[in-house]
Amino acid sequence: MTAARQILVVEDDEIIANLITLILEKKGYHVSGKVSSGEDAVIRAADLHPDLVLMDINLSGLMDGITAARFIYSLFHFPVIFLTGYCDEHLLERAKAAQPYGYLIKPFTENELISNIALALHNHEIRSQYLDRFVIGDTKKILTALEAVIVTDLKGRIVFINPYTTRLLELMEKDLMMKSSKTMITLINTQTKDPVIDPVPEVVQQMIVVTHETNTALVTHNGKQKPVSVTVRPLKDDQNELFGVIVILREKTLSQIRMAQR
């Protein structure tokens, strides 16, 4: 028996979200999750690995549906269908950057929803053969990695973190999402005690990889210093356009610190 396709519903109107869920379940799909904000959608998509995301464009929270969809598709290559109550030329142009597989205007019929989903799933199966499925690495490995993996947008706002990030930074997920990496990640040179300049703008402007392997410590919001190595690199989508920056923080062991001091 074929497993039911998994759908993530991103909709801040609870009535509409519940109605969509009823339609999908009646047609044999499984709703793996329902979220109401763009920032939650990115995190939950990584965790749930849906076959498809139904994304409302106007959402509560700090990230709208178009921005969330672009990160979901660029990072994980999960197909997205947009749902919106209105349509204009500017909105359509923004939506194109997220490479959606469909665009439904509310109110839509049950047949319109189901037929768009079927076509999107079919088209994605064909297209996925040519996509780099691991833009930031194997998602399952990232979620269990013992290092902080942080993705920012081009303005340096945090749009994705893996679970270890909250442990290393000693902050809750809600305190990090959509906040500036400059204010959330404080690095110092352990020899001079000088702050390390935020590397994200340099990576964005010059399209280079920035690393700090020695004499670097993360200062948590509780004032604790943790020796780390840092790698910051640009992220490009399958159209070779820069869409974000990935920051990797690895806490060093005592043996690594001693070796570096020799």
pLDDT at 261 over 70: no
Give start-end residues of each CATH 3.40.50.2300 domain in the chain: 6-130
pLDDT at 232 over 70: yes
Q: Pairing between strand 225-236 and 242-251?
A: antiparallel
pLDDT at 255 over 70: no
pLDDT at 256 over 60: no
**pLDDT-derived band at 181, boundaries 50, 70, 90:** very high
List, for residues 185-216, the tens digit of each pLDDT value.
Answer: 999 999 999 999 999 999 999 999 999 998 99
Q: Which residue has the higher pLDDT, 2 or 209?
A: 209
- Residue 88 is encoded by which pair of tokens? 């204009």
DSSP3 helix / strand / coil % (the chain, rounded to 5): 40, 25, 35
Question: What is the predicted pLDDT for the residue at 205?
Answer: 95
Which SS3 state, helix, strand or coil, does residue 56 take?
A: strand
Handedness of CA 93, 94, 98, 101 (dihedral sign): negative
Q: Which CATH superfamily is domain 139-261 in?
A: PAS domain (3.30.450.20)
C-beta of residue 226 within 8 angstroms of C-beta of residue 257: no
Neighbours of 36 (CB within 10 A): 17
Question: What is the predicted pLDDT for the residue at 212?
Answer: 94
Question: What is the predicted pLDDT for the residue at 121?
Answer: 96
C-alpha dist (Å) from residue 208 to 8, 175, 213, 234, 236: 34, 28, 16, 7, 12
Neighbours of 173 (CB within 10 A): 14
DSSP H or E segment with residue 139: helix 139-144
pLDDT at 110 over 80: yes
Give start-end residues of each CATH 3.30.450.20 domain in the chain: 139-261
Which SS3 state, helix, strand or coil, does residue 69 take?
A: helix
Please give the average per-residue pLDDT across 65-91, as a whole number: 91
Q: Which residue has the tokens 């009823």?
A: 22
Question: What is the predicted pLDDT for the residue at 127?
Answer: 84
Please give the average per-residue pLDDT across 43-57, as a whole number: 96
In angstroms, the CA 59 to CA 38 distance is: 7
The 30-35 sheet, strands edge to edge: 30-35, 6-10, 52-56, 80-84, 102-105
pLDDT at 172 over 90: yes
Q: Which CATH superfamily is domain 6-130 in?
A: Response regulator (3.40.50.2300)
C-beta of residue 9 within 8 angstroms of C-beta of residue 32: no
**pLDDT-derived band at 224, boundaries 50, 70, 90:** very high
Question: What is the predicted pLDDT for the residue at 136?
Answer: 80
